[in-house]
Amino acid sequence: MGQVRTTIVFLAVVVIAYALYLVFTGQVDEFVSSLSGVDAGWIVAGVVCFLFYYVFGVLAYALSIIGDPDCPVGLRDLMSVEASGVFFMRMTPNSAGAPPAQIYRLTRAGLSVGAASALNFTRTLLYEAGEGIFSAIMLVFCGSYFYETFGDVTLIGILLFGFKVLQVGGILFLCLFPRPVMVLGNWALRFANRRGWLKDEKYEKAYAFVNTQVMEFSRAFKSSASNVAEMCATMVVSLLQLGCMYALPYFVLRSFGEPADFLVCLASGSMVELLINAVPLPGGTGGAEVGFSYLFGGMFGAYLPAGLVIWRAIEYLLPVIIAVPCMGMRSVAGGASLNRRWNRFWGRAKAFVHGEKRGRGSTRGGGITVNPKAVRRAPTAPSSVEERIAAGKKAAAERGKGSKK
């Protein structure tokens, strides 16, 4: 939270600097007139698009735990986890505050620190890999556009893509080969500690992390990777989630009445996000503005200053505001796991498709299922003593007749 407070001050300085830039360059009147002509319908559509980014993020976490029938994490817990990631990803340098905040929310939901760290690590790996895969797909389809429009500058995008590939490759190496990573990490820590670059207290913490968490991450990743269908489904959802964020410039362009190529906007948006990730400032401040101005300047034309402000508001500021009330959400303790809820829902859906009817008193996984057609109507019990005696005599007489026969 200390980093968040620093970020708020930093963003206030950036806003003041941007306002001064508009004043000294004489663009204030043009900026105001551009904003006055905005089609609010497209802005609302952009906001809805980003809300789906949040929904897909929650769904990706749900897919990661839905196979465990005993996982205590509920849907509202996952909403809190994703909201924490959205908030701290934008409010801390290099998104450094997001993993600790998400791990804390998972432990509050009932997971151990190791299990929460492993789950978050696997989800982060798939998200990072999704960024690289999405950028690769966009370069395949729009590589010629970038080269024809920006020339040799396209190499910067390729370098950013290469950096993302190396980043994901390093994480994969850590997951698949933890022991070499531990040996190399311990050697580097001892080297830094002997030369005084790393104090003893920090050395002990880093040593404990390397020798415990690395192996835990590896086991969790290998366990998740063994379920290929689940991993593929999570990756598809991650790509859809990223697409919702990369598509935002398209909606901003349309709000100004400008023509827009959806695929080109997706490709340019993915490149801007790669640049944001490479800048070690909260929200990639500086890199985001420069990248957006360069890649979308020709599309927006005179509307660029206003378009930049609206895009940044939807992509950066609005998610922070939306995430704050969601961070405190918690599922009811002791409730059914997502696995059991999904199985119950799926069972009802199949029964509905096949035309089966379930009575209110029927249960699944235990209890008694009552089939009205199979129930025989029982005789009414006698209501008085005389009637009971008469019924008993009648039954005895019938038994006697049966024995004589």
How does pLDDT run across 86-95, given as a tens digit for each residue?
A: 888 888 877 7
Residue 132: in which H helix or E strand, if any? helix 113-150
Average pLDDT, the chain: 79
Flag whether pLDDT at 225 surpasses 60.
yes
Give pLDDT, residue 241: 94
What is the span of the domain harbouring residue 344? Answer: 335-365
Quickly state the pLDDT bin for 370 (edges 50, 70, 90). very low
Give pLDDT, residue 357: 59
Give pLDDT, residue 248: 93
Any domain includes 75: yes
Range in 6-10, 90-94, 276-280 the model is least confident about: 6-10
How does pLDDT run across 140-168, given as a tens digit for each residue?
A: 888 888 888 877 667 777 777 777 778 77
Provide the 10 A C-beta neighbour count for residue 9: 9
Whether 122 contacts 224, CB under 8 Å: yes
Flag whether pLDDT at 273 surpasses 80.
yes
Cα 127 to Cα 320: distance, rounded to the nearest angstrom: 19
Same domain for 203 and 287, yes or no, is: yes
Range in 124-128, 172-176, 247-251 the model is least confident about: 172-176
Query: 139 Cβ partners below 8 Å, 6+ apart?
Result: 146, 157, 158, 161, 267
Same domain for 66 and 208, yes or no, is: yes
Give pLDDT, residue 377: 42
Give pLDDT, residue 184: 86
Give pLDDT, residue 136: 86
Quickly state the pLDDT bin for 389 (edges 50, 70, 90). low
Same domain for 154 and 113, yes or no, is: yes
Quickly state the pLDDT bin for 374 (edges 50, 70, 90). very low
Same domain for 225 and 342, yes or no, is: no
Flag whether pLDDT at 25 surpasses 90.
no
Give pLDDT, residue 3: 66
Q: Which candidate, 141, 131, 138, places its Cα nearest to that of 95?
A: 131
Structure tokens at 311: 């895009």
Any domain includes 6: no
Q: pLDDT over 70 for what percent of the chain?
A: 83
Same domain for 40 and 158, yes or no, is: yes
Query: 259 Cβ partners below 8 Å, 6+ apart?
Result: 253
Same domain for 296 and 347, yes or no, is: no
Q: Which candidate, 92, 73, 93, places its Cα nearest to that of 84?
A: 92
Same domain for 352 and 231, yes or no, is: no
Greatest mean pLDDT among 52-56, 89-93, 201-205, 336-340 lies in 52-56
For residues 55 and 212, the model is more confident at 55
Residue ending a domain, choose from 332, 355, 374: 332
Angle at 19 between CA 17 and CA 21, to 5 degrees: 70
Any domain includes 10: no
Give pLDDT, residue 153: 65
Any domain includes 381: no
Quickly state the pLDDT bin for 361 (edges 50, 70, 90). very low
Give pLDDT, residue 368: 34
Cα 175 to Cα 125: distance, rounded to the nearest angstrom: 10
Quickly state the pLDDT bin for 47 (edges 50, 70, 90). very high
Quick one: average pLDDT of 344-365? 67
Quickly state the pLDDT bin for 388 (edges 50, 70, 90). low
Any domain includes 326: yes
Give pLDDT, residue 398: 66
Total structural domains within the chain: 2
Kindly state the greatest CA–CA separation across the chain: 119
Flag whether pLDDT at 274 surpasses 50.
yes
Q: Which candidate, 213, 235, 214, places its Cα nearest to that of 224?
A: 235
Any domain includes 93: yes
Quick one: average pLDDT of 319-347? 83
CB half-sphere exposure, 385, CA atoms < 13 A: 0
Same domain for 68 and 217, yes or no, is: yes
Flag whether pLDDT at 76 surpasses 50.
yes
Same domain for 327 and 252, yes or no, is: yes
Give pLDDT, residue 366: 38
Same domain for 311 and 183, yes or no, is: yes
Give pLDDT, residue 381: 46
Any domain includes 140: yes
Quick one: average pLDDT of 82-107? 86
Give pLDDT, residue 402: 54
Give pLDDT, residue 200: 78
Whether 237 contacts 221, CB under 8 Å: no
Any domain includes 371: no
Whether 66 contacts 338, CB under 8 Å: yes
Same domain for 171 and 307, yes or no, is: yes
Same domain for 225 and 118, yes or no, is: yes
Flag whether pLDDT at 360 surpasses 70.
no
Whether 82 contacts 58, CB under 8 Å: yes
For residues 358 and 213, the model is more confident at 213
